[in-house]
Amino acid sequence: MINKVYVPPIKIQGIKTKIVPLISEVVWIDDSMTWIEPFMGSGVVGFNLAPEHAVFADTNPYTIALYNAIKNGEITSYKVRTFLEKEGKQLEEKDDRHYYYIRDRFNEEHNPLDFLFLNRSCFNGMIRFNRNYEFNVPYGHKPGRFAKAYVTKIVNQVKRLETIFPEKDWQFKCQSFEQTISEATSNAFIYCDPPYIGRHVDYYDSWDEEQEIKLHDALVNSGARFMLSTWEKNKYRTNEYIDIVWKDCYKVNQEHFYYVGAKESNRNSMLEALLMNYNPSEVSRKKEQKGVYSVLSSDRAVNE
């Protein structure tokens, strides 16, 4: 089980930092298999599990471009520090004028470093685009955002990837989840973290019942083992699609808070669900036989 979770340089709403340890416990993968993420988002899950072979895919070309630039050495931790210190100073002096200058420049030139700057200084760490796929998140109004300690934190996150990437057989692709899953073999493990239906839609692309069904059918037809992250319920409502679309899957639950609301009243606990096409208890038993302690407990109920 993973005890320390490393945060990647890209910030994203709904990031799975808090449930990486649980995912690591019930995941079914070994060094001969290929880890596949059709919705890589920030990459936090795969980067922490660190499989030998992996395909990270997303429809957001700018996250993929940033990670490919780090992988091929075009962007280094040193360049990140130099860039953020320079642009952070300009932001402190010019405030929102500089933020929107960088946003306009990014939408014209698509520089990965500009994307990183925007991701770390925009409102609430959101990633959102208009119909022309232009970044349109407003300024977060924190002119002192890129203080020395904060820049160092981001630099260290990039530095860790500089260490990992050369040691691994990892690919980063900008493509649809349908294409990514269609390329999977039976010796793959597919982890999906799609937009949560009925909750976070339109932060990359729209997501509805049709998309949810397409994803389910693509995963089932792939012949590979898979796991999907979704929400089960909060104090207001329940995700009905678990029983409608994913009723043929095993389930593991964990409760935690999402801190994505501007108001404290919007920051409520949610019951997360991991859905998979294999029995997670088998994975736990195998690990316990090897002396690995199981974290499955009453608040992480396995439905069999």
Pairing mode, if any, of strands 250-257 and 34-37? unpaired
Q: Which residues pair with 171 in a beta bridge?
A: 55
Whether the CB-CB separation of 234 and 270 falls below 8 Å is answered with yes
72: exposed, middle or buried (C-beta count within 10 Å: 0-12, 13-18, 19+)?
Answer: exposed
Confidence (pLDDT) at 295: 41
Instruction: In whole angstroms, give the CA distance from residue 33 to residue 278.
Output: 16
High-pLDDT (> 90) share of the chain, %: 69
Instruction: In whole angstroms, give the CA distance from residue 102 to residue 116.
Output: 11
Instruction: In whole angstroms, give the CA distance from residue 170 to residue 166.
Output: 9
Confidence (pLDDT) at 74: 97
| Amino acid occupying residue 68 | N
Q: Which residues pair with 135 in a beta bridge?
A: 129
∠ CA 246-198-19, rounded to 5° = 65
Confidence (pLDDT) at 283: 83
Report the predicted TM-score, pTM, of the whole model to 2 decimal places. 0.88
Q: Which residues of the chain have pLDDT under 70?
A: 1, 199-205, 256-268, 284, 286-304
Residue 280 tokens read as: 């997670």
Confidence (pLDDT) at 255: 74
Pairing mode, if any, of strands 169-174 and 188-192? unpaired
Q: What are phi and psi of 247, to 5 degrees?
A: -65, -15
Confidence (pLDDT) at 286: 67
Q: Where are the beta strands (DSSP E) in the chain?
A: 34-37, 53-58, 169-174, 188-192, 225-233, 250-257, 269-276, 302-303
Residue 137 tokens read as: 């998140």
